Chain A
Amino acid sequence: MSEEASGHLAEQFTTLEKQAHASRLGMWVFICTEILLFGGLFVSYAYYRAMFPEEFREASRHLKTWIGTLNTFVLLTSSFTVAMSLHFARTTRGRGAAGLLALSIGLALLFLAFKGYEYSQDFAEGLFPGRLVREPALRNPGGGIFLGLYYMMTGLHAIHVTIGIGVLAVMGVLASRGAFSAHYDTPLELGAMYWHLVDAIWIFLWPLLYLL
């Protein structure tokens, strides 16, 4: 997060390690804000599920579980490749890291592609959010709410995936130029942490929306 022209160490830090530590702490604090952001949606989900358990179950059956499950494995794999890319960056100065990051981006794009296809199928079946729902079996109070939450939660998540792709792309370019090493890998580490957060959020979204 803090680079100066004469190297990576900013003037307010005395050593590079302290700076990296501060950057990591900063990223963890930021991750906490994301947890609270999505947490509000999870709270809304729990709240309405307590009111409409049957309608939520019924509505969940109308979602494309196979796409959700496929996307889960895609995202888990991308998380693994990102973790490996960080490891490569620390040990082999980055060429392998760039390749793994490219792979991760590919998987992320696959995630978005599946998601987009899923949305188009949902719309085709009349699964619109809230009041706008057309599917007759879900035209009851709880069904519309479930779909509204489904689109908010997966939509917000998809926005974060998109931002994550941008972050990983920048990291990939830096890695291919050999910017990272055992001594300096902070931007990649932070970017990887962001990507794992995106994965962790989906780990909760998937069962809540598709399996229960």
Chain B
Amino acid sequence: MPPAASEPASPVTYLNATRGVRAWLLTRDHKRIALLFMALVTLNFLLGGLFAMTLRVKLLFPGPFMIEPITYNRIFTLHGVIMVWLFMIPAIPTIFGNFMLPLMLGAKDLAFPRLNLLSFYIYAIGSLVTLWGMVQGGADTGWTFYTPYSTTTPTQIVPVLMGVFIVGFSTILTGLNFIVTTHTLRAPGMKWMRMPLFVWGIYATSVIQVLATPVLGLVLLLVAFEHAFGWGLFDPAVGGDPLLFQHLFWFYSHPAVYIMVLPSFAVMSEVVCAYAHKNIFNYKAIAYSSLGIAFVGFFTWGHHMFVSGLSTFDSGVFGVLSMLVGIFTAIKVFNWVGTFYKGSIDFRAPVVYVLGLLFYLVFGGMTGIAVATTSLDVHWNDTYFIVAHFHFIMVGVTIMAFLMGLHYWYPKMFGRLYPERAALVASVVIAFGFVATFLPQFLLGNGGMLRRYYSYPEKYQALHVLSTAGASLLFLGLATVLTYLVVSLRWGERAAHNPWGSKGFEWLSATPPPPSNYEELPRFTGEPHDYSTTEPQAVTEPGAPS
């Protein structure tokens, strides 16, 4: 099916229906709000990436270079804070979740459109407060804010804490909106087991967001109070216990990594089916494993505390449960491979990202199982092994999925095509750049290089140089992607209605969609991602209530 369109007509879409700054900044349209988020999230990503490059450049040399040690500490803290809370947690849900959820469910909007807009502005304000904290000098505690240092540090930690606290509300409101939308706005015929797998992933993510984030809010508040007023809730001299901070913090932050990764899995399921033109290997396995990850993910937080003085009983239990949660991910990996197998693969840039994600997920995930073993983690904890492990998942999986989604849904969102050749080249550069950046870090960590260290013994320099070279390649690839995506907004070839021949439900609406998504609500009759039949997936009934 030729991807490009031939008709020159310019229909009314959500992009051009109303014009002007107010029409965008005060919009209630979930699609416009998705684009507002996209703009801010991308800016935050650039900032976090800039900090990452600064760190990598400093680490080219073992001794002092370019920046002071305390500046280095501030930069890795802010890199973590921005990437975790201002990029990875919002990215896929607020951009693709916002845009696609109503389309996939056959709804005209989310359940609470004004709450959606509020969520955006809270995110914006939280970003600004964090930025202000940065400008004031920022925190130097690491993104994990461990007490007692975080409660006694002379740096500007309170604005950074408050920025994250504020962004947490945005996360909660978005999650709440998605949960209620999924429960109540499914179009006729859209049973739970007929929902696209993307919805299952976003739904599971939203459950985690809603249950875990309040605990983070509370613990950051406690740290801010203690820093500002010196109460001593975590100060042993007054009877406090730093380990309580860690229990509260990781109770949120471990599920938080699933907030970051489940949306990636959600995108992956959609993209794999679309580009293999094949049904998902086993729908229920993917749907239930998303819920399984969300649920069991809450039982594993202690594996971040193996060397902090956690009891051996707790350590043992957390170790076992942490391995258990890997099973759900493995189920997904086998499913995606099984879907690709004997599929009719349309080899485009997203497929490179699919293959990359599979490789990095298996590699990163297996190292996760390895560090879940307490006796091994005792040696690897706080080394670059851990850094490499989570970057394999955070960058290797989440960013690959983010890029995958950007390319797959680009025509849907903007009615234009990106340049395929440039995309293929960039994707390969990114894939190799990624490996070159983070694979050496496993070796560094296993060899004894500790994380968050400004200077290091000379013997580690070669691997650090390799890692920085890889980071430069990665940066180059990402810059290329950003450039052609922005340029294609205006000068890209106009896209046909369904350029990839995808059976995703979101492609039933116009490309790009009109403001109300569907003039007449569809009644779904077919299964999602069903390439085994040519029957229509939905029928439209003019003005029919359920």
Direct touching of A and B (C-beta under 8 Å): yes
List 13 A-B residue pairs with CB atoms under 8 Å apart, sorted by A's residue number: A11-B109, A13-B185, A22-B183, A25-B184, A29-B179, A29-B180, A33-B176, A36-B215, A40-B214, A44-B222, A52-B239, A129-B229, A152-B233
A107 nearest CB across to chain B (Å): 27
Q: How far is the CB of B103 from chain A (nearest CB, A)?
A: 12
Find out whether the CB atom of B239 lies under 8 angstroms from the CB atom of A22: no
What residues make up the interface of A, taking CB atoms closer than 8 Å to B? Answer: 1-2, 10-15, 18, 21-22, 25-26, 29-30, 32-34, 36-41, 43-44, 47-48, 51-52, 55, 129-132, 140-142, 144-145, 148-149, 152
Q: Which of B175, B180, B219 contacts A22 (CB 8 A)?
A: B180
The reply to whether A29 and B176 contact each other, CB–CB distance below 8 Å, is yes
Task: Verify if B546 is at the interface (C-beta below 8 Å from A).
Answer: yes
Q: Which single residue of chain A is at the shortest CB-CB distance from B211? A: A36
Q: Of B110, B210, B240, which is within 8 A of A33 by CB?
A: B210
Residues in B lying within 8 Å of A, measured CB to CB:
102, 107-115, 172, 175-177, 179-180, 183-185, 210-215, 217-219, 222, 225-226, 229-233, 235, 237-241, 244, 247-248, 516, 521, 545-546
Min CB distance, B392 to chain A, in Å? Answer: 30
Given the known inter-chain contacts A33-B214, A51-B241, A142-B239, please indicate yes or no for A131 contacting B231, CB distance below 8 A. Answer: yes
Cα–Cα, bound, A30→B244 (Å): 25
Task: Establish whether residues B112 and A1, one from each chain, have CB atoms under 8 Å apart when the complex forms.
Answer: yes
Of all chain B residues, the one with the shortest Cβ separation from A139 is B238
Say how far A191's CB is from chain B's closest CB, in angstroms: 16
Q: A37-B214, A47-B247 are in contact. List 4 more A-B contacts (CB 8 A).
A: A12-B185, A15-B545, A130-B230, A145-B240
Q: Point out the residues of chain A lying under 8 angstroms from B222, CB to CB.
A: 44, 152
Contact A33–B545 (Cβ < 8 Å): no
Q: A14 to B185, alpha carbons, bound, how many Å?
A: 9
Q: Which of B112, B175, B179, B218 touches A2 (beta carbons < 8 Å)?
A: B112
Q: Which residues in B have their C-beta under 8 angstroms from that of A141?
A: 238-239
Docked CA distance A132–B185 (Å): 53
B233 touches A149 (CB 8 A): yes
CB-CB under 8 A for A29 and B114, given A11-B516, A36-B215:
no
Is the beta-carbon distance between A47 and B233 smaller than 8 angstroms? no
Closest to B187 in A: A14
Expressed in whole angstroms, the minimum distance between the Cβ of A24 and any Cβ of chain B is 9
User: Is A148 within 8 A of B218, CB to CB?
Assistant: no
* Given A29-B179, A44-B248, A47-B241, A12 and B111 contact (CB-CB distance below 8 Å): yes
A15 → chain B, closest Cβ, in Å? 6
Instruction: Tell me the smallest distance from the CB of A178 to a CB of chain B, in Å.
Output: 24
Of the residues B231, B237, B247, contact of A148 by C-beta under 8 Å: B231
Note all chain A residues with C-beta closer than 8 A to B109: 10-12
Contact (Cβ within 8 A) A131 B179: no
Report the bound CA distance from A39 to B213 in whole Å: 12
- A190 to chain B minimum Cβ distance, whole angstroms, is 12
